[in-house]
Amino acid sequence: MRKLNLSRRSFVKLSAAVGAVSAFASAPAPAFAAVDPAMADAADVKVVRTCCRACGKNECGVLVTVENGRAVKVEGDAETAFHSMGNCCTKSQSSMQAAYHPDRLYHPMKRTNPKGNVDPGWVRISWDEAYATIASKFQELKDKFGGESMFFMGGTSRIWTQHAYAGWLQLVGSPNAVTAWQICKGPRHFATQLQSEFAFSWMATTDRPRVLVQWGTATEISNYDESCRTTVDLANTADTYISVDPRKTGLNHEADIWARLKPGTDGALALSWAQVIIENNLFKDLFVKRWTTAPFLVVEGMEPSGGVMVNGIALEDLKPMATRLLKECDLKEGGSPYRYMVWDELAGTDAAHPLHGNDASGHLTYFDAETGLWEGEPDEVWDQFYDNPQPNLPELTVPGRIAKESPFNPEIDPALRGEYDVVLADGKGYKMRPAWDIWVEYLQDFAPEKAAEITGLDADAIRDMAITWASPLDPSTGYGNGGIQYGLAPEHACNSIQNNRIFDTLVGITGNWDTPAGNRGPTCGMFSGAGDAQPTIVTGHFADLADAGFHDKILGCEKIPMLSWWQQWADCNAVQNAILTGDPYPVRGGLCEASGFMNQGNSTKYWEALNALDFFVVQDLWKTPTAGAADILLPVYHWMEVDCPRISQGSTGAQGATCRAIEPPADCRFDVDIVTDVYRAMGVPYADDPVGFGLPEGCTWPTSEQLFDKCVAPMGMTWAEYKEAFQEHGWWDCREIAPETWGTYRRYETGMCSKPDLVTPAGNPMKGMSTPTRKMEIWCPQMETYMPDGKYNLPTWDPAPQSELANPSIRNEWPYLMTTGRRIPVYFHSEHRQLPWCRELWPAPRVEINPRDAADLGIAQGDWVWIESPNGKIRQVADLYHGIELGTINTEHQWWFPELDQAGGGFDLCTINCLVDGDTQDPICGSSYLRAYHVKVYKATEENSPFGNPCPCGEDGTPIICDASDERLHRWLPNYEIREEA
How many angstroms separate the CA atoms of 387 and 371, rounded?
29
Asked if omega into 295 is within 30° of 0 (cis), the reply is no
How many angstroms separate the CA atoms of 197 and 67, rounded?
46
For residues 626-662, b (16+ Cβ closer than 10 Å) or e, as one string? bbbbbbbbbbbbbbbbbbbbbbbbbbbbbbbbbbbbb
- HSE of 605, CA atoms in CB hemisphere, 13 A: 21
User: Which listed residue (73, 91, 710, 767) is catalytic?
Assistant: 91
Torsion of CA 183, 186, 187, 190, to 10 degrees: -160
450 is catalytic: no
List the one residue out of 350, 289, 298 whose CA is nearest residue 775: 289
How many angstroms separate the CA atoms of 26 and 87, rounded?
10
Q: Within 10 Å of residue 890's Cβ, how many Cβ atoms? A: 22
Please report, as a single letter, which amino acid is at residue 960: I
In DSSP notation, 364-393 reads EEEEETTTTEETT--------EEE---TTP
Torsion of CA 327, 330, 332, 335, to 10 degrees: 50
Please report, as a single letter, which amino acid is at residue 856: D
Residues with Cβ within 8 Å of 425's Cβ and at least 6 positions away in sequence, in order, are 329, 330, 331, 332, 333, 335
List the one residue out of 685, 708, 705, 710 whose CA is nearest residue 695: 710
Measure the CA angle with vertex 880, ends 876 and 881; round to 5°. Answer: 120
List the one residue out of 212, 151, 534 whose CA is nearest residue 392: 212
Whether the CB-CB separation of 241 and 254 falls below 8 Å is answered with yes
Q: Within 10 Å of residue 938's Cβ, how many Cβ atoms? A: 14
Extended beta strands in 92-251, E state? 109-110, 123-124, 150-154, 177-179, 211-215, 240-244
List the one residue out of 969, 971, 975, 972 whose CA is nearest residue 841: 969
Rg from Cα positions in the chain: 28
How many angstroms separate the CA atoms of 24 and 837, rounded?
10
Residues with Cβ within 8 Å of 113's Cβ and at least 6 positions away in sequence, in order, are 119, 120, 121
Q: Could you list the active site residues?
A: 91
